Amino acid sequence: MEAAQASWGVVIVAAGRGTRMGTKESKQYLLLQDKPVIVHTLERFEAMDEIREMLLVVGPDDTDRVSTLVREYKLRKVKAVLAGGSERQHSVRIGLQSVSEGLEWVMIHDGVRPLVTAEAVRSCMAQAAKTDAAVLAVPVKDTIKQVGEAGVIVATPERRSLWAIQTPQAFRRSLLLEAHEKAAANGFVGTDDAMVVERLGKPVTVAEGDYTNIKITTPEDLPWAEFLLATRANTQLGR
């Protein structure tokens, strides 16, 4: 069965505190159109037929709170709410170990990317079917400079080769589990799940995503997300 047609597990990571947001409340629980950001994210996958289960990994102090949200919003595909680790990679591994054995494919997604579309998710799934490992990404628009410690530009990479990586990231489950187990054994911590797979010498390919798949990180991201959601709703009403 092709990956795009198979049943998938999704590990959604929402254990961070989000200090750059500058709020007492963690960013995944801030309200977006009167609903917590994390609920928007979960509802995206809840509505997709290809998704069989979700593993939600949150801060150790938030498991009861999030379990209540899951019940309140009737998110029936959430298999478990798990306490995360000290690093994002540790949290992913915790979620990955709880994915049902019968599922061949798994995605990892940031809990604070509530605007990902089903079309983009399916594109990533289809790409994973070809290579066993794929990430959503968009071409970089700006010129990027590499800057040294003294604040002096040391290099200007060729922009055509640069992509901004997003989530979800989609993998054959056995491959990602092997990559995480080896990273843990070696004490390696990467910046994303693709990086731990790359360490195995396995190719990770790109599925082009959308620039609207933003990560809620800083205060200006929330009103931008509100605008994008309102624009989508108006577009659907106009059809």
Domains of the chain, earliest start first: 3-232 (3.90.550.10)
pLDDT of residue 130: 96
205: left (phi over 0), alpha (psi -120 to 50) or beta: beta
pLDDT tens across the length of the chain (239 residues): 455 556 999 999 999 776 666 667 889 999 999 999 999 999 999 999 999 999 999 999 999 999 999 999 999 999 999 999 999 999 999 999 999 999 999 999 999 999 999 999 999 999 999 999 999 999 999 999 999 999 999 999 999 999 999 999 999 999 999 999 999 999 999 999 999 999 999 999 999 999 999 999 988 999 999 999 999 988 776 65
pLDDT of residue 221: 94
C-alpha dist (Å) from residue 219 to 17, 39, 216: 14, 19, 8
pLDDT of residue 237: 64
Give the C-alpha separation, 6 to 234, whole Å.
32
Tell which residue, 17, 15, 44, has the closest CA to residue 115: 44
pTM: 0.93
CA quadruple 57, 59, 63, 68: dihedral, nearest 10 = -90
Give the C-alpha separation, 118 to 196, whole Å.
26
pLDDT of residue 235: 77
169-209 per-position pLDDT tens digit: 999 999 999 999 999 999 999 999 999 999 999 999 999 99
Tokens 């054995």 correspond to 101
What phi and psi, each to the nearest 5 degrees, are found at residue 26? Answer: -65, 145
Beta carbons of 40 and 84 less than 8 angstroms apart: no
- H or E element, residue 168: strand 163-172
Give the C-alpha separation, 189 to 142, whole Å.
28
Give the C-alpha separation, 1 to 30, whole Å.
39
- Angle, helices 63-72 vs 37-46, to 10°: value is 50
Q: Is the dihedral of CA 109, 115, 117, 120 positive or negative?
A: negative
pLDDT of residue 25: 81
pLDDT of residue 22: 60
